[in-house]
Structure 1
């Protein structure tokens, strides 16, 4: 997994910039915008991201939603286009909905529940998050190599794109 075609390695297989397409991803509340900014920061701070093929990293990623599909526009660091992948959001819809529901339960529990109840809900929340990350990794298989932590951060960002505030 560490070596790609053309001898590139995962050390160069990383994202240095993530941009959200303003035209397809509407602006939201300040809280949601903050969550999106944090998700992007965390993703850029630590990631392993390498499109399959003969591409030189590091990479830039532009995310958009077109006709209810998630579009990954990947460019090389200098801005030269590398490849674009379009993913159906359908396999992720239920897990995103489940994740939102368990997050609501978690935030409610923080206000009214015992530490053990909060911990149990948080474990469930992390489990759903991991499930969503694995589905995303499966959807990216053969297109983009990512490690689990990067998939988790991408899943967080994809969820942030759906938050209504």
Structure 2
């Protein structure tokens, strides 16, 4: 049985439309894909609590809100994370993604691979930052942290 079917997982991920707002069709598509990927396979555990969990992401006073509930809606805990540690990596990641998509059209496979390696490195850096910021509050594996960063990035993506 995969971890996604166990207790220590996210069973639902939603976005707080009041604080985040709706995006354009491209943004909404990227957000939906990110949520699908998270739900497909994840490890998400709160020390001392049994899952599964439902996560609602929102913004509260320029902080990222992780409102965690049971699948039936009972509040478990809310964590507010400053976005400041993510600003540089989000900006850099956006620039390298733009370079990557431009390179796909004109660059050699070697150039595309080099840009993609840089993109993956930034993605890993952001994922580690997210894991560190949630350390002791939420236990995530590397892949779940990567998928959550993808969603966080999709919330900022200009489209």
Same fold per TM (> 0.5)?
A: yes
Equivalent position of 1:135 in the other structure: 129
Q: CA deviation at 1:56?
A: 2.1
The residue aligned with 1:83 is: 77
Return the match for 1:109 from 90, 95, 103.
Answer: 103
Q: CA separation in 1, counterparts of 2:132 and 2:103?
A: 32
SS at match of 2:17: coil
Asked whether the 8 Å contact 1:55–1:76 carries over to 2, the reply is no
Match of 2:45 among 50, 58, 64: 50
- Between the two proteins, the alignment pairs up a number of residues equal to 155
1:32 and 1:48 map into 2 onto residues whose CA distance is 25
1:32 maps to which residue? Answer: 27
1:29-52 CA-to-partner distances (Å, cap 9, x unmatched) read: 111100000000000110000122
Matched residues in 2 for 1:135 and 1:56: separation? 25
Q: Deviations 1:46-71 (Å, cap 9, x if unpaired)?
A: 0000122x322100000001111000
Give distance in 2, aligned partners of 1:55 and 1:80: 13
- Out of 39, 56, 59, which is 1:65 matched to? 59
Q: Which one of 142, 150, 153 corresponds to residue 156 of structure 1?
A: 150
Larger helix proportion of the pair: 2
Cα deviation for residue 15 of structure 1 reads 0.3
Alpha-carbon RMSD: 1.1
1:56–1:76 contact (8 Å) kept in structure 2: no
Alpha-carbon shift at residue 164 of structure 1 (Å):
1.7
